Structure 1
């Protein structure tokens, strides 16, 4: 449990990037305290989560449009590994609870054929691309 406990304490257990692993902060309630280098990171994490939720609401509500002013009707997530698997898994798990007004596709391959197949019937003016890394 040593590394797990260190993760919950906000210690730098990601030795490759010399930083804390903050998965726990993403799931922490607003009143939680997770310190990294003496600073509680939870308020900053929630500020970003709120910003993401606002953006998603604007896309779904039609306030965020494509470059021609058309409403976004399609979302294409481009990512490899965890940048594909996490979003795809969350989408599949929660799809039954959505209004299905958006077409969502996932591209997880550097092969152009995968991208071509994903966008073949989508209007570029109505498509939002998310590049996940």
Structure 2
């Protein structure tokens, strides 16, 4: 049995390792964001210090991958070649109530992306593309069949 070759895809941990806990969380089936143990601020994107209280090395916590579409955009151009077979695709900015309303980006991958609306409830699922080393967080509307897959 032959293995699928690993592709050099443009996502995964940064060379400085700052966001590695995020990617490791996805690989373990969890969404992890930084959370300051000193002041309680949620942080996204990853930072070396908390912007609120300036404590160094904020921790990482698992959060529920469920939220509300805060904004969205439909792309008709594949900004990276790995998305060429998905155009047009919808990118959503999702507000996470379980993480102090921090907002994270991802692709909306349900069956009717043309009907996306601000305020839609979405749930995240983690998807490992064939040949990829690191999975990605993708979003489906909460009322879409299989949304919690």
Superposition TM-score tier, normalisation by shorter sequence:
under 0.3
Larger radius of gyration: 1
TM-score of the two chains, using structure 2 as the length reference: 0.21
**Which is richer in strand?**
2
TM-score of the two chains, using structure 1 as the length reference: 0.22
